[in-house]
A and B are shown apart, each in its own frame.
Chain A
Amino acid sequence: MDVIESALRQGLGADAIIFALAAIGLNVHFGYTGLLNFGQAGFMAMAGYGLAATVSTFGLPFFVGILVGLGATVVFALLLGVPTLRLRADYLAIVTIAAAEIVRLTVGSVTLKDWFGGRDGLQAFTGTFRDLNPFSERTGFGWLTYRAYDAWVILVGWGLVVLRCLIVWALMRSPWGRVLKSIREDEDAVRSLGKNVYGYKMQSLIIGGLIGSLAGFMTALRQAATNPDDYFTEVTFFAYTVLILGGAARVLGPVVGSILFWFLINLLGGFFTWATRGDDPLMPTWLMTSNQASLVRFIIMGLALMLLMIYRPQGILGDRKELALDAR
Chain B
Amino acid sequence: MPADTPIADFDRHAEIKQALSDVEHEPGAKKPDPILVADNVVRRFGGLTAVDVDHVEVQRGAITALIGPNGAGKTTFFNLLTGFDRPDTGSWHFNDKSVSGVPAYKVARRGMVRTFQLTKVLSRLTVIENMRLGATEQRGEQLVSCMIPGLWRTQEKANTERADALLERFKLDAKREDFAGSLSGGQRKLLEMARALMVDPELVMLDEPMAGVNPALKQSLLGHVKSLRGDGKTVLFVEHDMDMVRDISDWVVVMAQGRIIAEGPPTAIMGDQRVIDAYLGAHHDAPMTQEEEERQLAEVAEAIEAELGEPGTTSEETSS
Contact = CB atoms under 8 A, between A and B. Distances in A.
B122 A193 contact: no
B152 interface: yes
A182 B146 CA distance: 16
Contacts of B149: 174
Contacts of B196: 192-193
B101 interface: no
Interface residues of B, number: 44
Contacts of A326: 123, 181
B109 interface: yes
Given A175-B132, A178-B133, A182-B133, A192 B104 contact: yes
A320 interface: no
Interface string A167-192: 10011001111110110111011111
Contacts of A328: 118-121, 123, 181
B146 A176 contact: yes
Given A192-B82, A192-B113, A193-B199, A178 B125 contact: yes
B113 A193 contact: yes
A195 interface: yes
Interface string B125-160: 100011011101010111100110100100010000
Interface of A is mostly: helix
A186 B130 CA distance: 11
A104 B122 CA distance: 38
Name, among A167, A175, A177, the residue most crowded by chain B CB atoms within 10 Å (CB to CB).
A175
A185 B126 CA distance: 12
A134 interface: no
Contacts of A182: 122, 125, 130, 133
A177 B195 CA distance: 18
Contacts, number: 115
Contact of A191 (B104, B125, B129): B104
Interface residues of A, number: 31
Name, among A170, A186, A195, the residue most crowded by chain B CB atoms within 10 Å (CB to CB).
A195
Contacts of B114: 192
B133 A193 contact: yes
Given A181-B124, A188-B116, A192-B116, A174 B104 contact: no
A106 B299 CA distance: 86
B38 interface: no
Contact of B133 (A167, A188, A190): A190
Interface of A: 167, 170-171, 174-179, 181-182, 184-186, 188-197, 203, 321-322, 325-328
10 contacts: A171-B146, A175-B132, A175-B156, A188-B116, A191-B105, A193-B133, A195-B133, A322-B179, A325-B123, A325-B181
Interface of B: 82, 84, 103-106, 108-109, 113-116, 118-125, 129-130, 132-134, 136, 138, 140-143, 146-147, 149, 152, 156, 179, 181-182, 192, 195-196, 198-199
Given A185-B123, A328-B119, 7 more contacts: A175-B138, A176-B142, A185-B122, A189-B122, A194-B113, A328-B121, A328-B181
